[in-house]
Structure 1
């Protein structure tokens, strides 16, 4: 029997949330990155509980255009800015999301945020740019 902390029986292998596209009943993590004026990204990731020791296939970061926030990130307004989101770590109660913004020449912001797999969260990545997450149970869809 599993403990509330996700320790499977006596094996000592901990179940953690992982970004996987192939589990039977995923929990869907909805991710939004937006400013007051515009949504930069809205996407959904399937999260599944699995033993930490099982590892996970490396997922390709989700890339999105972010030129609208060039000024906010101290880049010239005509500079092409892109963003990336990825799962950087797996924990028993959620995931660490990596978020970065960059131009062709330099990284403007690279940060990690813990996101619980059990509810909503919000965090300012930088003044005027917000990460919002909500959880949808895949079994209910």
Structure 2
């Protein structure tokens, strides 16, 4: 990981991250973003997000290409209890792996999906998760510039 990514992971680990987290790929202007590059451990990123009690939002501009890395990241994210907002832009989320979070989160208030190619099966997984939500606090749901 880069020095900046290591610092973000440390802040997440130490529960010192109390803002939105932006995750982009190496082509993006990374600024304060976690800048995903080859060799980054998405499992640790998910683990620290899952343990963090301060983070309020996660904004995904990319996901790893390897399915096991996506699974490890989503497993950690699904364990988080403080996230209020999830945004995804230009990346495909497998909603079957995010369903536990959508269904069980007490704090999720906004889910925004921008410029994503969502298959019918994946849209069905999303609809199922939304219909089974245990806590009815989702007040903002955005599907914009998608293929649905």
TM-score range, shorter chain: under 0.3
Q: Relative contact order (C-alpha < 8 Å, sep 6+): which is higher?
A: 1
- The TM-score normalised by the length of structure 2 is 0.25
Report which of the two has the higher share of helix: 2
Report which of the two has the higher share of strand: 1
- The TM-score normalised by the length of structure 1 is 0.26
